[in-house]
């Protein structure tokens, strides 16, 4: 099949593997594994580091995460929800009085959950002290790192936004201008905050007591006070109890079967079920016979994804507030009924009703020699606001709520927003086969679906499956306010012309992904596959600055 011109080799490793969105974050994870840490230790280090070197994508203290962990010693899959909720003052009445939810700034922030989730994992499944896990991130923040070409582009693209956020501009602009590739970006304030966090943990000899002290320092101690003071001064909607009562928690995964694989995703309010629904809809089609370069195969995948996203819009929200009919949405009978709605020669156009149900983000994956496998998507949303002089970039996740009364994802205090973060893991015969994730908002599930099908349906090797030509659909409401429907299907240039022509003939509004504001590189797949005789195979998406390494 067609391939991207700038591919790379997969990493074949005997003992462990790390793949992240940035080489320095990968190096942070490697550092922990080389020193004897396990997959959780390395993942915490990588997640903290990527928040430093990808500041518009993630932040350990200001963002949110979902994590899947295969615990080899217990032969079970764990899921951690470390996502927050709308603050106490974010009622629909207050939102409307303020003129709506802003895309950026103090009123765009939900309660950050990442630190509590990673601390929970480190305490219960890691082996090192918090200071060891955070050491690479502290070093990168304190001594700086060379700005990458992608980060320069992000700074340039967000310059006008940053200028309206003085605390952020002070860190990420130099005399009002973006840093250039190769220049050192130093984040002294963030380094100081991380050092104070480590000091809170190191005040206790016991490792677990130290981690708990760090959690308290963030959510009920000095950092909480600093964040609350800043947000109050800037007109935010937070109350003290919003942070004080936060706690990450274990959740049950959602799952389906596909061609002998048991595919797991994280539950609502994540959009994870959309991946599983698309697989269910395609389960009875012989995609392999159609071939990966066939317009018929691409059409079916796109249309299945559209139906899954229509259900996302109709049903997926915080299940603590709105009932989500998971059993029905994931049933094979429902999938067959949905499949019957698809035409082989005509594209569905929005509005697409949900089925009749009865009564910039980052990802990483780590595997270790003990057989543990972890995959996460962790995020702040896009460019966030720096909380005063803490150096902490706070998320702008409020923009994913709806403002229409009666919508399942309508904003309310204490409600978790429907979120795109969706790490996934496939098991075969009860053991890990593949951990895979992608950032990119609405592109996430689309990129995951394509990579998984290229691997298990079309028989490509893992790196080739990640490299394969990618499409991105916008034929559904965008996750972010004002939730526009783009109605386009973007194809990477490496697709054959016959695919474009075949899709246009079916009514798809096809455009070139590299000539639009919607770029397929927003979907950046990271994946680790279990080797046939032990060990691991790691693949990093060439569309971004991803890096895989192993031993």
Q: Indicate whether 444 belongs to any domain.
A: yes
Q: Indicate whether 7 belongs to any domain.
A: no
Q: pLDDT at position 441, please?
A: 86
Q: Indicate whether 472 belongs to any domain.
A: yes
Q: pLDDT at position 519, please?
A: 52
When pLDDT is cut at 50, 70 and 90, the band that residue 381 belongs to is confident
The answer on 54 and 179 residing in a single domain is yes
The answer on 439 and 396 residing in a single domain is no
Q: pLDDT at position 479, please?
A: 86
pLDDT at position 351 over 90: no
When pLDDT is cut at 50, 70 and 90, the band that residue 427 belongs to is very high
pLDDT at position 95 over 90: yes
Q: pLDDT at position 146, please?
A: 98
The answer on 103 and 35 residing in a single domain is yes
When pLDDT is cut at 50, 70 and 90, the band that residue 384 belongs to is confident
Domain coverage including residue 133: 25-62+81-246+378-400
Q: Indicate whether 370 belongs to any domain.
A: no
When pLDDT is cut at 50, 70 and 90, the band that residue 355 belongs to is low
| Token reading at 369 | 């020699």
**182-214 pLDDT, tens per residue?**
999 999 999 999 999 999 999 999 999 999 999
**320-335 pLDDT, tens per residue?**
999 999 999 999 999 9
The answer on 317 and 168 residing in a single domain is no
Q: Indicate whether 15 belongs to any domain.
A: no
Q: Which residue has the tokens 């593997």?
A: 17
The answer on 191 and 52 residing in a single domain is yes
257 a catalytic residue:
no
| Token reading at 413 | 């205090």
Q: Indicate whether 371 belongs to any domain.
A: no
The answer on 392 and 323 residing in a single domain is no
Q: Indicate whether 5 belongs to any domain.
A: no
Helix (H, G, I), strand (E, B) or coil at 239: coil
The answer on 255 and 242 residing in a single domain is no
**7-60 pLDDT, tens per residue?**
789 999 999 999 999 999 999 999 999 999 999 999 999 999 999 999 999 999
DSSP-assigned letters across all residues of 166-212: HHHHHHHEETTEEPPTTSEE--HHHHHHHHHHHHHHHTSSSHHHHHH
Q: What CATH number does the domain containing 346 carry?
A: 1.10.246.130
The answer on 261 and 137 residing in a single domain is no
When pLDDT is cut at 50, 70 and 90, the band that residue 122 belongs to is very high
Helices (H), 259-348: 272-282, 287-290, 295-315, 326-329, 332-339
The number of domains in the chain is: 2
pLDDT at position 356 over 60: no
The answer on 195 and 310 residing in a single domain is no
DSSP-assigned letters across all residues of 130-157: HHHHHHHHHHHHHH-EEPPHHHHHHHHH
As a whole-number percent, the residues of the chain with pLDDT over 70 amount to 95
When pLDDT is cut at 50, 70 and 90, the band that residue 358 belongs to is very low
The one catalytic residue among 83, 167, 193, 361: 361
Alpha carbon dihedral 340, 344, 349, 355, in 10-degree steps, equals 10
**274-306 pLDDT, tens per residue?**
999 999 999 999 999 999 989 999 999 999 999
Q: pTM higher than 0.85 for the full model?
A: yes
Q: pLDDT at position 6, please?
A: 54
Q: Indicate whether 277 belongs to any domain.
A: yes
The answer on 383 and 356 residing in a single domain is no
Q: In what order do the strands lie in the sheet with 249-251?
A: 249-251, 76-82, 64-71, 373-379, 362-367, 17-20, 547-550
The answer on 339 and 195 residing in a single domain is no
The answer on 255 and 241 residing in a single domain is no
* Greater pLDDT, 363 or 522: 363
């Amino acid at each position: 099949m067609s391939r991207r011109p700038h591919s790379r080799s997969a990493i074949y490793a005997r003992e462990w593997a790390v793949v992240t969105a940035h080489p320095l974050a990968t190096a942070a994870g490697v550092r922990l594994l080389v020193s004897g840490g396990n997959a959780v230790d390395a993942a915490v280090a990588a997640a903290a580091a990527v928040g430093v070197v990808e500041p518009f994508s993630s932040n350990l203290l200001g963002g949110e995460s979902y994590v899947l962990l295969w615990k080899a010693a217990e032969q079970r899959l764990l899921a951690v929800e470390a996502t927050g909720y709308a603050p106490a003052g974010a009622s629909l009445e207050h939102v409307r009085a303020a003129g709506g939810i802003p895309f950026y700034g103090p009123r765009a922030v939900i309660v950050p959950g990442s630190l509590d989730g990673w601390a929970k994992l480190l305490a219960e499944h890691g082996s090192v002290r918090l200071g060891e896990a955070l050491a690479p991130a502290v070093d990168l923040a304190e001594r700086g790192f060379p700005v990458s070409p992608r980060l320069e582009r992000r700074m340039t693209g967000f310059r006008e936004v940053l200028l309206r956020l003085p605390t952020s501009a002070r860190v990420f602009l130099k005399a009002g201008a973006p840093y250039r590739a190769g220049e050192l970006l130093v984040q002294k304030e963030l380094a100081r905050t991380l050092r104070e966090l480590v000091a809170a943990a190191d005040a206790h000899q016991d490792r677990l007591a130290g981690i708990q002290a760090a959690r308290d320092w963030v959510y009920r101690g000095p950092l909480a006070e600093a964040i609350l003071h800043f947000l109050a001064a800037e007109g935010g909607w937070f109350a003290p109890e919003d942070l004080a009562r936060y706690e990450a928690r274990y959740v049950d995964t959602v799952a389906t079967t596909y061609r002998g694989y048991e595919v797991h995703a994280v539950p609502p309010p994540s959009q994870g079920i959309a991946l599983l629904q698309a697989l269910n809809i395609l389960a009875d089609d012989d995609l392999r016979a159609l071939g990966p370069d066939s317009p018929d195969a691409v059409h079916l995948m796109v249309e299945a994804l559209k139906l899954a996203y229509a259900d996302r819009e109709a049903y997926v929200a915080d299940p603590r507030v709105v009932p989500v009919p998971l059993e029905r949405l994931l049933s094979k009978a429902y999938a067959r009924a949905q499949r019957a709605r698809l035409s082989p020669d005509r594209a569905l156009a929005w509005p697409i009703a949900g089925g009749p149900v009865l009564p910039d983000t980052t990802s990483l994956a780590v595997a270790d020699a003990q057989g543990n496998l972890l995959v996460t998507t962790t995020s702040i949303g896009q460019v966030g606001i720096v909380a005063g002089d803490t150096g902490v970039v706070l998320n702008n996740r409020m923009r994913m709520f709806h403002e229409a009364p009666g919508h399942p994802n309508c904003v309310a205090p204490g409600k978790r927003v429907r979120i795109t973060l969706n790490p996934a893991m496939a098991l075969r015969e009860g053991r890990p086969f593949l951990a895979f994730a992608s950032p990119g908002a609405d592109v996430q599930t689309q990129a995951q679906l394509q990579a998984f099908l290229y691997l298990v349906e079309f028989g490509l090797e893992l790196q080739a499956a990640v490299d394969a030509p990618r499409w991105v659909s916008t034929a559904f409401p965008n996750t972010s306010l004002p939730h526009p429907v783009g109605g386009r299907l973007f194809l990477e240039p490496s697709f054959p012309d016959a695919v474009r022509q075949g899709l246009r003939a079916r009514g798809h509004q096809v455009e070139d992904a590299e000539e639009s504001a919607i770029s397929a590189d927003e979907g950046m797949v990271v994946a680790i596959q279990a080797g046939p005789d032990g060990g691991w195979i790691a693949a990093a998406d060439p569309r971004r600055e991803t890096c895989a390494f192993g031993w």
